[in-house]
Chain A
Amino acid sequence: MTLEKLRPGQAGTVLALRLEGALRRRLRDLGLMEGTRLRCLGRSPLGDPSAYLICGAAIALRREDSRLIEVEVEPWNEP
């Protein structure tokens, strides 16, 4: 499934990045690549963007971009 469907609190592992160009580079620089584990921290008050915990930092991504990232959801039990 895609990253945008990850609900606040849910964790997942990245399977593929279906985006190109500058955004792809920037995400990879931030540590988001195949095999990275991340967690959805929450959505902004107007619904978009959402914040994700990636490599220990909180990164905000827009829905139109997180729609292009494939993840595998983990059964969640993080405090």
Chain B
Amino acid sequence: MERTVALAGNPNVGKSTLFNRLTGLRQHTGNWTGKTVSTAMGRCGDYRLVDLPGTYSLLPHSEEERVARDYLLQGEEEVVAVVCDACCLERNLNLVLQCRELCQRVLVCVNLLDEAERRGIRVDCTALSRGLGLPVVGVTAREKGSRERLLAALDALWEAPAPSRRSPPYGQGLETALQHMLPLTEGERLPARWLCLRLLAGEKLPASAKLQHAADTERAALGLTASEVEDLLSAALSREAARLAALSVTGEERAYGRRDARLDRVFTGKLWAFPVMLLLLLGICYLSIRGANLPSEWLSMGFERLEGLLRRGFAAFSAPPWLEGLLLDGAYQSLAAVISVMLPPMAIFFPLFTLLEDAGFLPRVAYNLDRPFQRCHACGKQSLCMLMGLGCNAVGVTGCRIIDTKRERLLAILTNAITPCNGRFPLLIALLAMFFASGRSAILPAALLTLVLAGSVLLTFAATALLSKTILRGEASPFVLELPPYRKPQVGRVLLRSLLDRTLFVLGRAAAVAAPAGALLWCLGRWQISGESLLLRLAALLDAPGRFFGLDGAILLAFLLGLPANETVLPILLLLYRASGGLGDAAGLGEIHALLLQHGWTGLTALCAVIFTVLHWPCSTTLLTVKKETGSWKWTALSALVPTVMGLALCAAVRALRF
């Protein structure tokens, strides 16, 4: 039978780093429950490791806790390794004690021992092991032997006869109640003692009616409410944790140290917080755009060269022209456009983002921006989803899982598309450079882009506020955020993993979405109705409504046809204006500018185009992701409607004002 080890632990204890270290690149993200929390799985030696979501306890108050607990409840034969932060052991022991009560084979892994040393904290793993009655392994980041010792401890634990589950003393009243209830647990699937305690605390669990009734009776006999029982249980765990910490930890426990406080004076201080965040945002955008320029060009050239070879191949095989058109002019060129536009910026943006996350900076962003989100009845973590949306809206929508409550998560999902993703940057920059930034200066378009981004942030607030007063009405839910200590990010491995993940994502999307869409577009382009191309007829049809919104038919059609991938909007527009040629026909900004002016573009048109680029329906990948995350077509439709309605309204207003 396969040996599975579940990795549990508080958030921010370096659990995922340890997981990465143990599994190397042999891991993948799983969705084993089909719920909206993902778990990473990987292999280490003979063991299959499952990285459970970080939780502070196993009480079912959030999605992550429920997932972690359900996982632990269903695996009888498995080992649970609880990862603890040596700097903060007492609080971490809360989870250890709960695991010890629930599972048969528990291993404690005390992580970040070197960090603790530096703060003058020493953990005596032997004493802790004695006190807990569980094996304890100490781990440090740099020491090579850690992995071996951990595996050895796992082997020993697996081979040993299963120790029974243990609880701390709960006091006379509760123990008596348990004595009365335990005989009634015959045939229950869940661990007996644990089940009784949870029922006494008022939790709804699958148990026989007899047992449930007994729980109510006992609770009444004690004269306590369910909440009071819960308090007693957590107080008992807390006392036990304090006792164990006292006998194994020397030095004052402190995860958040002086250096963190000093850094936070800058990153969350009144004076510097916003400038620093703005600067970092600018930095990431600048690096993504600038760094992507050359690789994008190389990819473009590479694809062109390959295209030439393919065409010769087609000719050599005397392939019918329609096949060549469908596959090359259609599918291939669309694929090439998407990859060369999207891959380089995403390959830069997300690794940078992950570095910031590893370093511990992102919770500070949520902390700084919580107040305006509070006003919108949302949550500060939404700012992080917006930041991810800057790279790719589909990733942003998935990232909304970090928000605890359903209502606030929906708010974040529905408004994520208002943040323009990397795929829309080239279009935005081109429009801004051509119509609003005269001269060869590179600074002005960048500054204007920042303005547009700032605008999208304000629009997100507006949309969130509006939604929370209408469709998604409700109270703001509890907000508790831990500001973890700043840690040096593990540059090498983080970058490699991020790069691989992003590359695969873009390639997958290009193959699955962009290529078929391109082929379809080519077909539509060839379709003639009484002498005129279908596409041009559609553009003419959309012209009147388009002009009402300060745009024109071709622009609207380009956005509509760009549903599969925003990167193709500009190429499609050029194709429509030229009324011939393929998507991949290259053109410099000067030529494009001339072409647009030729078709009646003014500064107003460009402004409305910029607005509509920011505020229109999300791309098909994002829509599918919304469906997957929310499980409902209704919310998916709304996620398309919200930005579109806003965009059309704003465009109409702008056009009206200029008159």
Pair A62/B254 contact, Cβ less than 8 Å: no
CB of B55, distance to nearest CB on chain A (Å): 9
B371 contacts which chain A residues (CB < 8 A)? 44, 46-49
B255 contacts which chain A residues (CB < 8 A)? 56-57
CB of B455, distance to nearest CB on chain A (Å): 20
Identify which of residues 467-500 in chain B touch chain A, using a CB-to-CB cut-off of 8 Å.
476-484
Flag whether B234 is at the interface (Cβ < 8 A). yes
Given contacts A56-B256, A58-B260, contact A42 B480 (CB under 8 A): no
Identify which of residues 1-44 in chain A touch chain B, using a CB-to-CB cut-off of 8 Å.
20-31, 33, 41-42, 44
The A interface is mostly helix, strand or loop, or mixed, namely mixed
Pair A45/B480 contact, Cβ less than 8 Å: no
Pair B253/A51 contact, Cβ less than 8 Å: no
A62 contacts which chain B residues (CB < 8 A)? 370, 374, 479
Flag whether B238 is at the interface (Cβ < 8 A). yes
Given contacts A44-B371, A49-B367, A56-B87, contact A33 B235 (CB under 8 A): yes
Pair A27/B268 contact, Cβ less than 8 Å: no
**Which A residue sits closest to B369, measured CB to CB?**
A46
A23 contacts which chain B residues (CB < 8 A)? 478, 480
Q: Which of B253, B274, B372, B481 contacts A55 (CB 8 A)?
A: B253
CB of A9, distance to nearest CB on chain B (Å): 11
A59 to B367 Cα, complex, angstroms: 10
Given contacts A44-B268, A58-B482, contact A28 B368 (CB under 8 A): no
B227 contacts which chain A residues (CB < 8 A)? 20, 24
Given contacts A30-B480, A57-B91, contact A45 B268 (CB under 8 A): yes
Flag whether B90 is at the interface (Cβ < 8 A). yes
Flag whether B264 is at the interface (Cβ < 8 A). yes
A48 to B372 Cα, complex, angstroms: 10
**Which A residue sits closest to B270, measured CB to CB?**
A45
Flag whether B120 is at the interface (Cβ < 8 A). no
B370 contacts which chain A residues (CB < 8 A)? 44, 48-49, 60, 62
Pair B56/A58 contact, Cβ less than 8 Å: no
Flag whether B61 is at the interface (Cβ < 8 A). yes
A29 to B477 Cα, complex, angstroms: 18
Pair B91/A61 contact, Cβ less than 8 Å: no
- Name the interface size band of chain A: 20 to 34
Pair A60/B483 contact, Cβ less than 8 Å: yes
Pair B264/A41 contact, Cβ less than 8 Å: yes
Flag whether B231 is at the interface (Cβ < 8 A). yes
Pair A33/B368 contact, Cβ less than 8 Å: no
A61 to B61 Cα, complex, angstroms: 18
CB of B113, distance to nearest CB on chain A (Å): 15
Identify which of residues 160-192 in chain B touch chain A, using a CB-to-CB cut-off of 8 Å.
none
Flag whether B230 is at the interface (Cβ < 8 A). yes
Pair B478/A26 contact, Cβ less than 8 Å: yes
CB of A50, distance to nearest CB on chain B (Å): 10
Flag whether B88 is at the interface (Cβ < 8 A). yes
Pair B368/A51 contact, Cβ less than 8 Å: no
Pair A60/B480 contact, Cβ less than 8 Å: yes
A26 to B30 Cα, complex, angstroms: 27
Q: Which of A30, A44, A64 contacts B368 (CB 8 A)?
A: A44
CB of B175, distance to nearest CB on chain A (Å): 21
A57 to B59 Cα, complex, angstroms: 21
Mark interface residues in B594-622 (1 if CB within 8 Å of A CB, else 0).
00000000000000000000000000000
B231 contacts which chain A residues (CB < 8 A)? 28
Pair A48/B374 contact, Cβ less than 8 Å: yes
Flag whether B636 is at the interface (Cβ < 8 A). no
Given contacts A28-B234, A51-B483, A57-B255, contact A42 B268 (CB under 8 A): yes
Most A CB within 10 A of own CB, among B265, B380, B482: B482
A21 contacts which chain B residues (CB < 8 A)? 478
CB of A10, distance to nearest CB on chain B (Å): 15
CB of B68, distance to nearest CB on chain A (Å): 13
A18 to B263 Cα, complex, angstroms: 33
A23 to B230 Cα, complex, angstroms: 13
Pair A31/B61 contact, Cβ less than 8 Å: no
Mark interface residues in B237-268 (1 if CB within 8 Å of A CB, else 0).
01000000000000011111000110011001
Flag whether B206 is at the interface (Cβ < 8 A). no
Pair A29/B478 contact, Cβ less than 8 Å: no
CB of A77, distance to nearest CB on chain B (Å): 16
Q: Which of B59, B264, B372 contacts A29 (CB 8 A)?
A: B59
A40 to B347 Cα, complex, angstroms: 40
A28 to B85 Cα, complex, angstroms: 18
The 6 listed contacts between A and B (C-beta, < 8 Å) are: A44-B368, A45-B269, A48-B370, A56-B90, A57-B482, A62-B479
Closest 6 CB pairs of A and B: A23-B478, A29-B56, A46-B371, A58-B483, A45-B273, A58-B256
